[in-house]
Every structure is written in structure tokens, then in C-alpha cells.
Amino acid sequence: MLTMRTDEELVALYATGKDEAFDLLLERYKDRLFSYILYQVRNADVAEDIFQETFVKVVITIRDGRYTESGKFFSWVTRIAHNLVIDFFRREKGENIVSTDESEVDLLNNAKLADRCAQSAIDCEQTFIDLQRLIEKLPEEQREVVQMHYFQEMTFKEIAEEKGISINTALGRMRYGILNMRKMAQRFDLGLSL
């Protein structure tokens, strides 16, 4: 029975042509992934486009035999979506540089970023782009925990289970991730309140 298979088993089956395996993977993660994308772009149509593009890339990568991340399927798919979201914001802004605009938004102490930025969508978008760039510069283990906690709204217990680590390790990675982001924000003279 396919529903009892692990993500990795389903990926392997799909790679050999069993389309039902991919349907099950999509069913497992579509709501969570769409929510993650929508939370970042705050536009259902854009989120739907990015969601579709994400799974096109997933299909192509698996069919080409290039998927290699054992045990981390959802993290891998989320990373693809995340990169597409960043690409979207870059296209929207038409620039690829880190901004030095000042902002007093308390980003990481309030997961509802859009609510805090309602008075100025442009400032909010730039702040979000700056934050994403800082997160991208973190070591992978820290970056994953920060993204999972703040953008996928996962608890540290859920993160620990997903990553196969202890809750204390997840908390430690979050702590060091935030410390590293503070240092980078200071270095780039970003007024982010981390």
C-alpha cells in the first residue's frame, strides 16, 4: 500500500514511472507548502503560480534522476519554493542587492510580519527581502530551523522530529541563527530589530 511508504520510497517509485507515488507526495505536503508560500507572498494568485512552478521543478529533478537528499523531501521542496519566492521578490524590485534602508520592524519576535507592516507595503516588502537575504546567508542547519519555525510555523518539537534532532539542538540552532543574523544586519547596516 503506497500510503505506508516513506517520502524517499515514493520518490524512488515515481522516478521509475509510478505516477501515483507522486500524487501521494503532493497530497501529503500541498497544504503545508502552499501555506508557506502564501504566508511569504501574501497573494493567492502569486502563491498558486509559485506552488505550481515548485512542483514542476520537483518533477523535472526527480525524473532526471537528480534528487539525492535522502530523508529530507519536504525540506528540499520547501527550499525550491523559497528560492522561487526570492526570485519573485527580486523580479518585483528589479534589483539584486542588499538594501540599507532603515526599518524598525520586529521581524523575528512576531511571526505575523505582514500585520506589523500593514501601514507600508513597500517598506514591508523591502524588509522581508532583506530578512530573506540574511536567512539565506546562514549555515544550512541554522537556516532550516529559522525557516521552519518562522515561516512554516512549526514548533521546536515538530522541527526536532522532522530533522531527527533533539529539541535542545533545534533551539540552539535557532539561537545561533538569530545571533548570526543580528551580526549580519549590523554589518550591512540594516535597521532590522532582531
The better pLDDT of the pair 31, 127 is held by 31
pLDDT higher than threshold 50 for residue 26? yes
Virtual torsion, Cα 121, 31, 55, 7, nearest 10 deg: 140
| Mean pLDDT of the 45-53 span | 90
pTM value > 0.85: no
Residue by residue, what is the 3-state secondary structure of 33-49? HHHHHHHHHCCHHHHHH
Q: What domains does the chain contain, in order, with CATH numbers?
A: 1-96 (1.10.1740.10), 97-194 (1.10.10.10)
Please, are residues 75 and 158 in contact by the beta-carbon 8 Å criterion?
Answer: no
More confident residue, 94 or 76: 76
Q: What percent of the chain has pLDDT over 90?
A: 10
Report which of residues 133 and 119 the model is more confident about.
133
Go through 33-58 and write b for each residue having 16 or more CB atoms within 10 A of its CB, e for each that does not. bbebbbbbbeeeebbeebbebbbeeb
Q: What is the pLDDT of residue 95?
A: 46
Looking at the predicted structure, is the pLDDT value of residue 163 above 80?
A: yes
Mean pLDDT of 148-170: 84
| pLDDT at residue 120, as a whole number | 41
Dist. CA 90–CA 129, nearest whole Å: 8
How far lies 147's CA from each of 83, 174, 178, in Å? 12, 10, 11
Do 193 and 106 contact (CB within 8 A), yes or no? yes
Distance of CA 121 to the CA centre of its chain: 21
More confident residue, 7 or 132: 7
